């Protein structure tokens, strides 16, 4: 595996950043709680895996 250069002082386009992230996959996890007067009203748990669709994971939509 090769080392990635630090981005300090270097400009990168958003599309290039997304391409790098999606090539390896991104895992997003988080919790959100809406609380009023120490009473939990709403709790949301988020767990998502975002990656490109390729031959290993076929697209769920038919080809048009």
Q: What is the pLDDT of residues 16-64, one digit of tens each?
A: 888 887 777 788 899 999 999 999 999 999 888 887 766 666 667 777 6
Q: What is the pLDDT confidence band of residue 7, given thresholds at 50, 70 and 90? A: low
The predicted pLDDT at position 10 comes to 72
| CA 51/CA 43 separation, integer angstroms | 26
Domains in the chain: boundaries: 14-50
Q: Are 32 and 43 in contact (CB under 8 A)?
A: yes
The predicted pLDDT at position 61 comes to 77
Q: Which residues pair with 47 in a beta bridge?
A: 29
The predicted pLDDT at position 25 comes to 79
């Amino acid at each position: 595996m090769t080392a990635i250069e630090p981005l300090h002082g270097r400009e990168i386009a958003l599309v290039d950043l997304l391409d790098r992230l999606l090539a390896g996959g991104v895992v997003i996890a988080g919790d959100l709680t809406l609380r009023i007067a120490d009473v939990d009203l709403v709790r949301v748990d988020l767990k998502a895996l975002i990656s490109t669709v390729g031959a290993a994971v076929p697209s769920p939509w038919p080809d048009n």
